[in-house]
A = this chain, B = another copy of it.
């Protein structure tokens, strides 16, 4: 046991909201949201649970902060260029990539309505370029919402499967209830077993962004 007084300054960086949020995201990545507790988060930071309350309001605040951090990652991952359609595609890809890096944090997103500066900045950037390229403002927003929905939904479904497969299952069939009828087990196998997630994601994007002015298209 090393006595702590001598090394106090070196041993432990002071707590901060940022550090807490980072630790929380890392903990969620490793163990899942449902396992996160203030006690364990404190332990991960080498601190008692109660100390956290000097830097965050409560657990809900921590969770909101984690979602905010994820949006910051998405914002930096999606650097916009000139072609607005390519931008929209990249934005969707950024969402998918970042959520793919934090699969266990995905369920957090539909559960807390956080609109942080980072997410709003990202939206603004995307829309601005589109509008400057001649797209109607309302359309630019509508299409961006549509693309975002798709990216989120895709990430939600696929990360989920991958998590499940990675964790326990040599084959998809093992994820089913044991008394699932054979012909339904087969459906499960095709539906979520063999598919190329990347190609399929691009399929949806291609379908959505094929035309410039979808509202007028028909």
Contacts and interface: CB of A to CB of B under 8 A. Distances in A.
Most chain-B Cβ atoms within 10 A of its Cβ — which of A110, A143, A175, A181?
A110
A117 B187 CA distance: 10
Given A120-B191, A150-B150, A153-B154, A203 B177 contact: no
A111 B191 contact: no
Given A110-B110, A146-B200, A160-B110, A206 B188 contact: no
A184 B153 contact: no
Given A109-B156, A110-B106, A156-B110, A181 B115 contact: no
A117 B160 CA distance: 18
A111 B157 CA distance: 9
A164 B113 contact: yes
A107 B156 CA distance: 10
B120 A188 contact: yes
Contacts of A156: 109-110, 149, 152-153, 156
Contacts of A15: none
Interface in A132-172: 137, 141-146, 148-154, 156-161, 163-164
Interface string A32-49: 011000000000000000
Contacts of A111: 33-34, 106-107, 160
A88 to B, nearest CB: 12
A3 interface: no
Contact of A153 (B115, B141, B152, B203): B152
Interface stretch (A19-27, A69-77, A210-218): A210-218
16 contacts: A34-B111, A113-B164, A115-B192, A117-B177, A120-B188, A143-B203, A146-B207, A148-B153, A148-B157, A149-B156, A149-B158, A150-B154, A150-B204, A156-B156, A204-B208, A207-B210
